[in-house]
Amino acid sequence: MNSIEKIFANNKEWIAGKLSLDPAYFENLNKGQNPEFLYIGCSDSRVTAEDLMGVQPGEVFVHRNIANMVISIDLNVMSVINYSVRHLKVKHIIVCGHYSCGGIKAAMQSVDLGILNPWLRNIRDVYRLHKDELNAIADEQARYNRLVELNVQEQCVNLIKTASVQQAHRQRGLMVYGWVFDIHTGKLIDLKIDFPKILADIMEIYRLS
Ligand code: CO
């Protein structure tokens, strides 16, 4: 069996497993989705949203890209945010980064990566914003880990800059969280980003509604 055939065999097994526990499983899945969470994470194959959160199909709306970025002119992520906040009415938005992130590592190097340059530029901007703190960290691994965390924090700030998130926070208490997945241990770390405080700090500049 080749690797593609294996996938279809896996799928058959998965269907049988679900149906053995609940014969109406797919019928119910077909009725619609009502996820409480929007998860924005990295495309890295080792960081699978549902697995690490222990949630089932229907529980989390997922967007993944290189280095879990929230970029205001990325129509893809902006559509995901708009749809999930205004239509699905998610209650929690999570930005989840991870240690050993290749995107973050690439942004720390002086290399021309072609089409990736403008994407990674956004991570370099995070470095510039926090240059004093980062450059004060002598250990390269520790500096790399810290940039992973600061990048999550800045992407949370970028979320807060959107009109849909500002409005949903005010109207129904939508919250934003920054997490890091530690690949070495499997642990999910809550960076405890103070969403209301950041919101208060930046609203003077970014208020849209
Ligand atoms: Co990554």
Question: Residues within 5 Å of ion ligand 1 by Cβ?
Answer: 42, 44, 101, 103
Choosing from 74, 87, 92, 101, the catalytic residue is 101
Catalytic site residue 46?
yes
User: Which is nearest to 188 in space by CA: 52, 37, 4?
Assistant: 52
Extents of the domains making up the chain: 1-31, 34-206
- pTM of the predicted model as reported, rounded to 2 decimal places: 0.95
Instruction: Give tens-digit pLDDT for 23-43.
Output: 999 999 999 999 999 999 999
Superfamily name and number for 34-206: Carbonic anhydrase (3.40.1050.10)
Catalytic site residue 201?
no
Cα 10 to middle of ligand 1, angstroms:
26
Cα 98 to middle of ligand 1, angstroms:
6
Instruction: Give tens-digit pLDDT for 150-185.
Output: 999 999 999 999 999 999 999 999 999 999 999 999
**pLDDT reading at 196 higher than 90:** no
